[in-house]
Structure 1
Amino acid sequence: MPSPSRSETVVTHDGLRLHVACYGSDHPDARTILCLPGLTRTGADFAPLAQALATDPQRPRRVLALDYRGRGQSDYDANPANYTVPVEAGDVIGVLQGLDAAPAIIVGTSRGGLIAMVLAAIRPELIAGVVFNDIGPVIERAGLLRIKSYVGHMGAPRSYDEAAATLKRLFADQFPNLTDADWHAAAQRGFRPDGDSLIPTYDPALARGLDGLTPDTPLPALWNEFDALRGKPLMVIRGALSDILSPATVNEMRRRRPDLDTLVVADQGHPPLLREPDVIARIAAFARRCDASA
């Protein structure tokens, strides 16, 4: 897995240290990209994409990948009630300002895209464009219930082989073409040693945010927040097997934004891995479009 050039630490308003992996360096004609991961994920998921974008021969640029509070190498929060999109949006504002990265192009996977929409509603001037990776203003209930079923319930595998087998059992229907080596690499990113076993690289208290979710729970749509991105270049990437972002939601996004750059990734579910050369090339071209619109 590609390694970042360096790491930065940003301290939140309430004193938590956030880890930010940094790839490449500033270029005057290229916007910084900030990669925001999914609910239980870390910035390490973006390593191949970040390295490729940072060294793009047409337009190299700085790329940042954040570990939210309670994930990866960032501090865990003693108050799990702070693991919310609004609080994390505030943290992202701190990262953008603390690392002099605004206005940035946001690549938001799942929860990262929700944070981008909330950010657009409160601080749109910090955003130069958004790539929504398998997320939109409407979240499909079936996919969210599936996520609830495993967050905080991954067990304590005693080896990375066992962790890889767990991931394959849970997610093979979303990613049918991954090899055993792929599942093992995913386990390396998603688990860390803890005594004689392994634990996920996130605070298990994140699960509390899903405790109240039932098949009957109303799920608010974020169309007003999406519309707050008017004038900003937008791209949406959907996994063809996704149970989180529906074709109907993508169609409504396109109706509201006819200029929406749209890509469907075959044979992948939620969320697409953003590692294939053709996918990376599309994102790089979108980033150059954001540069030109500045």
Structure 2
Amino acid sequence: MPDFTHEYFTNSDGLKLHYRDYNTAGGDAPVVLCMPGLTRTSNDFAHVADSLKAKCRVICLDKRGRGLSEWDSDPARYHPGTYVADALELLNHLGQKSVHAIGTSMGGLMTILMQAAQPGVIKSAVINDIGPEVDPEGIKRIQNNIGTTPELKTWEDAEQYVEKTAKHIFPYFNDDDWKWFTRITYIEEDGQIKSNYDPAITQNFNSVSAEQSMPDMWPVFEGLKSVPVLIIRGETSDLLMQSTLERMESEYPLLTGVTVPQAGHAPMLHEKEAADAIASFANKNYT
């Protein structure tokens, strides 16, 4: 039996959204909200949840249009503002005024925006491979790749495709890693292997230039200055620049950074450097 349950709530747009609930640590356990990247799902945080579930209640959200959450009939609503509103509605549904956040890429951006929209809602933050400014080249790469998956008839086809397209991001993956990563990325439906998200999420993301898609977020990032923050960066990331991490470390006294060797955008958080950093951060801050 899994250590989590599949739970749902209905947001103000009438969409039924899914989250994994690892709720075995007791009623007084600190609550950790995990938010995945642009096209990713709650599956990505299985390793993190397994490492934290003994002392924390871990909630892993599928954003609208991803995973087991309903797709939005209005693609114009696929943008960070609605994702943040959904996350805040989830906290209200759970009866939680504040949480510890772990966010990868878009999920990290959501963490930043949640604290700005509702100061105090974030007790601490683990932000995976994104910051208050990003390299436009990384945005261009994502825009060029998102929604371009070819027809995949078998899981073997999918594994080969995933390894070919993501080898530069995870050069340290072995065959088992590629099998695992493929199966948390795709689903089998009607005899075909398909992406686990609504293709319409690409419309807003690809409708603006890379330079416009991520405005200067330094003023918004100020909201996290008073809480502990762990920044995880992939060594070869084309989204979070080393100079940005260094500036964050120099200007934010409660912020620390760790780099995952060889990883691109974005580490999966099961890598030793990331897992050890999260465990240390949790021991110090999840109370």
Name the TM-score class by shorter chain: over 0.9
Distance 1:263 1:28 in 2: 32
Q: Which moved more, 1:36-45 or 1:202-211?
A: 202-211
Which of 31, 52, 67 is the matching residue for 2:62?
Answer: 67
Quote the offset at 1:28 in angstroms. 5.9
Cα distance, 1:255–1:278 mapped onto 2, change above 3 Å = closer
Residues 144-183 of structure 1 mapped to structure 2, 5 A cutoff: 144-183=139-178
For structure 1, the residue ranges without an aligned partner over 5 or more in a row are: none
Residues 229-268 of structure 1 mapped to structure 2, 5 A cutoff: 229-268=224-263
Q: Could you tell me which amino acid in structure 1 is paired with residue 122 of structure 2?
A: I
Distance 1:10 1:68 in 2: 12
Q: Which moved more, 1:116-125 or 1:216-225?
A: 216-225
Q: Could you tell me which amino acid in structure 2 is paired with residue 5 of structure 1?
A: F
Cα distance, 1:24–1:217 mapped onto 2, change above 3 Å = closer
Conservation of the 8 A alpha-carbon contact between 1:113 and 1:133: yes
Conservation of the 8 A alpha-carbon contact between 2:105 and 2:266: yes
Cα distance, 1:215–1:14 mapped onto 2, change above 3 Å = closer
Q: Which residue of 2 aligns with 1:125?
A: 120
Distance 2:228 2:213 in 1: 30
Cα distance, 1:196–1:219 mapped onto 2, change above 3 Å = same
3-state SS in 1 of match to 2:240: coil
Give me the CA root mean square deviation: 1.8
Q: Which residue of 2 aligns with 1:52?
A: 51
Quote the offset at 1:3 in angstroms. 3.7
> Deviation digits for residues 95-149 of structure 1, max 9, x if unmatched?
1111123311100100001111111111122211111100101111111111111
Quote the offset at 1:277 in angstroms. 4.5
Q: Report the TM-score, using the length of structure 2 for normalisation.
A: 0.94
3-state SS in 1 of match to 2:188: strand
Q: Could you tell me which amino acid in structure 2 is paired with residue 16 of structure 1?
A: L
3-state SS in 2 of match to 1:270: coil
Identity of aligned residues (%): 32
Q: Which residue of 2 aligns with 1:186?
A: 181
Distance 1:240 1:127 in 2: 27
Conservation of the 8 A alpha-carbon contact between 1:30 and 1:288: no
3-state SS in 1 of match to 2:95: coil
Conservation of the 8 A alpha-carbon contact between 1:33 and 1:62: yes
> Deviation digits for residues 220-273 of structure 1, max 9, x if unmatched?
111111101121111100010111100111111112203312111111111111
Q: Which residue of 2 aligns with 1:111?
A: 106
3-state SS in 1 of match to 2:184: helix
Cα distance, 1:29–1:230 mapped onto 2, change above 3 Å = farther
| Aligned residues between the structures | 287
> Deviation digits for residues 19-65 of structure 1, max 9, x if unmatched?
1101133546642111000000001000011111112xxxx111111
Distance 2:138 2:243 in 1: 15
Conservation of the 8 A alpha-carbon contact between 2:237 and 2:266: yes
Distance 1:241 1:210 in 2: 23
3-state SS in 1 of match to 2:285: helix
Cα distance, 1:11–1:4 mapped onto 2, change above 3 Å = farther
> Deviation digits for residues 193-227 of structure 1, max 9, x if unmatched?
22231110000111112323446647411111110
3-state SS in 1 of match to 2:265: coil
Distance 1:47 1:228 in 2: 28
Quote the offset at 1:285 in angstroms. 2.3
3-state SS in 2 of match to 1:228: helix
3-state SS in 1 of match to 2:120: helix
Q: Report the TM-score, using the length of structure 1 for normalisation.
A: 0.92
Quote the offset at 1:192 in angstroms. 1.2
